[in-house]
């Protein structure tokens, strides 16, 4: 039985002398001296003022912490970065917390730390639901926080990045021993590079020994206020990187040099979100697409942000939860006026006893907080939808964070606002040269780029033969005119069953989408409009009566799929090299292998978003942009691996289905 994903909030008692944690008999922040202690122990202990001031343009400085608590150290580091660092440098904060505070508790800290008011308010506005896993928060244009909610050791194991300075914080070792264990120090070492520093308020003997064993050379210094000693240190052990990992083939693409040129091929949601994420990091991006932004599946008028959760916390379930939380934060930042999206909530209806059972098992198994998803009965579902539901609806799941988006408008807006260079052409060939990739377009023009991102869905296979097989599934969405007071019958939130019905917009009711794996054309078919109308009829009887059947528009396009229905995000394996480097695994999959996966230099992909591109592409873009700028990954390492474009190839090799110089089975 797997552990539920939902976590308990921290118990907090606010007293005159500070904010207390009764479960640990310790304080989050004392009335006096809290920030001074942070500065003395952690910021000065890691010499951050000078190191941040000395950053090169576009350099990413990574700070890791073992106990977020009320965020005091991280917020103080952010404030220091804003005053010290050169204009284009970036700060990446990573911290772990088992019992997160509530946003309301965070906001109360403004009174204690008024100099951090801006930082506290921003953090509280982005504060994630208490769900186990990594949460990426874009604190400021150049400052990112990855907050892992869960056990510290699990968080460190999940973290895909290398840290420049560690803060070993958390409640006192005597009250919270797991936070200071030898295993934890080994985990810090595994995410350190030569020269990584550390600082901690504790100078306990056990900690000193554990640090030494992990490869840190420490020094005792005067502690803060009444504390006699604290420790600072430097990692001088062996940085293991991927060579020490059980699956070394899942390597990440190398960072692109700060002035490197990047081409993104395809201007659907995958390409435009990648281009935007890179441009926001100050990178020079050119995007190619002869069909214009949203020329493929992303050209739909409306879409839903709808996660499909399994009963168990599978990688897909965890990725979709992370993607939903990230996409809504990302949309709120990009479009606070809600012109391109609507945070209207989403219902997944249950109309059979089996589905009611499945949903109940899912809620019990995942244990997610109500703010993410909760069960509703039929009457509550109808109330949320604001319209009558069919009589066979037995209830459902309600996602308060579910949303509707306008994909075509969003893609066009991203291209226009991100300041990328637009090329109104398809790419017909890629060839690798010493100077980079030569990109040839359909007008015969060509240009050389340091890095190319393939985001052109199924057409990517024509440009890169080393990709895993990609499938395509036709889908058609319909937009019916609404007669008379039809808007009143349209749902107030997204309503899903085997398809989705969205809140009406501009006098039209969008519904989708058909799913035709065997179809071979993209002609809009009346029969598929009829199927979509049937969905409305099956779920929303008053709306069915209000749509003007004869006045319907629609659009058909291809969903691009992978063999396991997860997207492909990351670098592209060099098939010939993998086949020879990992050939031994075909005879014995338990063979120890240390060779890191060889990737095509300067090539990565965001593909195969299937039926969920609107949900998944923003987080996928953040993954790629992080890798290409040398920053840590926004999701846990096992999710990075689950989406790795080499996963199909390594399985084929292990199953003995592919050998060097042999076609793939």
Which stretches of the chain bind ligand FAD, using CB under 6 A? 265-271, 288-289, 291, 295-298, 300, 303-304, 426-427, 455-457, 459, 475-477, 500, 512-513, 557, 559-560, 609-615
Minimum Å gap between C-beta 469 and ligand FAD is 16
Minimum Å gap between C-beta 622 and ligand FAD is 15
Question: Which CB atom, from 220 or from 417, has the smaller least distance to ligand FAD?
Answer: 417
Give the tokens for residue 531. Answer: 């199927």
Question: Which CB atom, from 290 or from 654, has the smaller least distance to ligand FAD?
Answer: 290
Question: Which CB atom, from 513 or from 547, has the smaller least distance to ligand FAD?
Answer: 513
Question: Which CB atom, from 90 or from 609, has the smaller least distance to ligand FAD?
Answer: 609
Question: Which CB atom, from 148 or from 319, has the smaller least distance to ligand FAD?
Answer: 319
What radius of gyration, in Å, describes the C-alpha atoms of the chain? 26
Give the tokens for residue 98. Answer: 């088992």
Question: Which CB atom, from 32 or from 530, has the smaller least distance to ligand FAD?
Answer: 530
Minimum Å gap between C-beta 647 and ligand FAD is 18
Minimum Å gap between C-beta 270 and ligand FAD is 3
Pairing of strands 547-561, 341-342: unpaired
Q: For residue 340, what are the CA distances in angstroms to 65, 149, 270, 333, 504? A: 36, 30, 17, 12, 14
Asked whether 120 and 106 are in contact (CB, 8 A), the reply is: yes
Asked whether 555 and 299 are in contact (CB, 8 A), the reply is: yes
Minimum Å gap between C-beta 347 and ligand FAD is 14
Any idea which residue has 């065997």 for tokens?
518
Q: How far apart are CA 587 and CA 598, in angstroms?
A: 21
* Angle in degrees, 0-180, between the axes of helices 72-84 and 117-126, rounded to the nearest 10: 120
DSSP helix/strand/coil, 46: coil
Count Cβ neighbours within 10 Å for each residue of 429-446 and write b for 16 or more, e otherwise: ebeeeeebbebbbeeeee
Question: Which CB atom, from 233 or from 295, has the smaller least distance to ligand FAD?
Answer: 295
Minimum Å gap between C-beta 344 and ligand FAD is 13
Minimum Å gap between C-beta 482 and ligand FAD is 19
Question: Which CB atom, from 107 or from 334, has the smaller least distance to ligand FAD?
Answer: 334
Minimum Å gap between C-beta 301 and ligand FAD is 10
Question: Which CB atom, from 268 or from 396, has the smaller least distance to ligand FAD?
Answer: 268
Q: What is the DSSP string of 312-364?
A: S--HHHHHHHHHHHHHHHHHHHH-TT-SSEE---EEEEE-SHHHHHHHHHHHH
Q: How far apart are CA 277 and CA 296, in angstroms?
A: 20
Pairing of strands 18-21, 26-30: antiparallel
Pairing of strands 446-449, 436-441: antiparallel
Minimum Å gap between C-beta 504 and ligand FAD is 15
Count Cβ neighbours within 10 Å for each residue of 49-60 and write b for 16 or more, e otherwise: eebbeebeebbb
Give the tokens for residue 266. Answer: 């395809």
Asked whether 94 and 146 are in contact (CB, 8 A), the reply is: yes
Minimum Å gap between C-beta 128 and ligand FAD is 21
Question: Which CB atom, from 188 or from 502, has the smaller least distance to ligand FAD?
Answer: 502
């Amino acid at each position: 039985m797997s552990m539920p994903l939902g976590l308990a909030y921290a118990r907090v008692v606010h007293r005159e002398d500070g904010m207390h944690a009764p479960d640990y008999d310790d304080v989050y922040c004392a009335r006096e001296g809290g920030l001074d202690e942070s500065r003395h122990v952690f910021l000065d202990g890691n010499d951050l003022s000078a190191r941040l001031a000395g950053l090169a343009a576009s350099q990413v400085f990574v700070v890791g912490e073992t106990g977020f608590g009320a965020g005091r150290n991280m917020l103080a580091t952010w404030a220091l970065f804003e005053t010290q660092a050169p204009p284009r440098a970036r700060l990446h904060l990573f911290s772990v917390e088992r019992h997160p505070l509530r946003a309301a508790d965070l906001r109360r800290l403004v009174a204690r730390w008024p100099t951090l008011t801006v930082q506290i308010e921003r953090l509280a506005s982005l504060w994630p639901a208490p769900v186990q896993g990594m949460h990426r928060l874009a604190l400021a244009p150049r400052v990112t926080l990855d907050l892992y909610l869960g056990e510290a050791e699990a968080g460190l194991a999940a973290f895909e990045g290398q840290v420049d300075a560690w803060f070993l914080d958390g409640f006192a070792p005597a009250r919270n021993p797991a936070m200071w264990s030898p295993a934890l120090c080994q985990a810090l070492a595994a995410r350190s590079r030569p020269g990584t520093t550390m600082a901690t308020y504790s100078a306990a003997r056990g900690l000193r020994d554990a640090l030494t064993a992990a490869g840190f050379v420490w020094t005792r210094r005067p502690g803060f206020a009444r504390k006699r000693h604290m420790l600072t240190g430097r990692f001088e052990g062996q940085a293991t990187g991927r060579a020490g990992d059980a699956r070394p083939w899942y390597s990440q693409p190398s960072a692109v040099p700060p002035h490197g040129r990047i081409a993104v091929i395809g201007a659907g949601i995958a390409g435009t979100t990648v281009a935007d994420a890179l441009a926001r990091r100050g990178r020079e991006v050119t995007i190619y697409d002869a069909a214009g932004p949203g020329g493929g599946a992303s050209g739909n008028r409306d879409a839903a942000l709808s996660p499909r959760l399994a009963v168990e916390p599978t990688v897909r379930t965890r990725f979709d939860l992370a993607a939903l939380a990230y996409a809504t934060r990302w949309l709120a930042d990009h479009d606070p006026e809600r012109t391109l999206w609507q945070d209207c909530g989403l219902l997944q209806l249950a109309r059979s006893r089996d589905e009611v059972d499945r949903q109940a098992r899912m809620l019990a198994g995942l244990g997610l907080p109500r703010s993410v998803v909760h069960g509703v009965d039929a009457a509550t579902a109808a109330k949320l939808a604001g319209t009558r539901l069919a009589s066979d609806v037995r209830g459902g799941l309600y996602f308060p964070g579910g949303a509707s988006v306008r994909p075509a408008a969003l893609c066009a807006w991203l291209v226009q606002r991100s300041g990328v260079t637009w090329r109104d052409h398809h790419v017909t060939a890629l060839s690798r040269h010493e100077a980079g990739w030569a990109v040839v377009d359909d007008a015969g023009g060509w240009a050389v780029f340091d890095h190319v991102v393939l985001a052109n869905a199924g057409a990517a296979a024509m440009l890169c033969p080393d990709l895993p097989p990609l499938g395509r599934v036709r889908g058609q969405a319909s937009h019916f005119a609404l007669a008379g007071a039809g808007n009143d019958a349209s749902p107030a939130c997204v309503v899903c069953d085997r398809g989705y019905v969205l809140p009406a917009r501009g006098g039209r009711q969008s519904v989708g989408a058909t799913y035709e794996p065997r179809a071979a054309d993209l002609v809009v078919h009346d029969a598929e409009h009829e199927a979509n109308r049937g969905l409305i009829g099956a779920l929303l009887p008053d709306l069915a009566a209000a749509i003007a059947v004869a006045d319907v528009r629609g659009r058909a396009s291809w969903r691009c799929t992978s063999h396991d229905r997860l997207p492909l995000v990351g670098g592209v394996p060099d098939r010939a090299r993998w086949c020879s480097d990992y050939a031994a695994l075909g005879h014995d999959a338990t063979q120890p292998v240390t060779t890191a996966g060889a990737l095509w230099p300067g090539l990565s992909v965001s593909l195969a978003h299937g039926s969920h591109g609107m949900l998944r592409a923003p987080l996928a873009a953040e993954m790629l942009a992080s890798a290409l700028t040398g920053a840590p990954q926004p999701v846990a390492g096992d999710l990075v691996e689950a989406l790795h474009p080499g996963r199909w190839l390594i399985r084929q090799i292990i199953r003995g289905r592919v050998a060097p110089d042999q076609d793939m089975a």
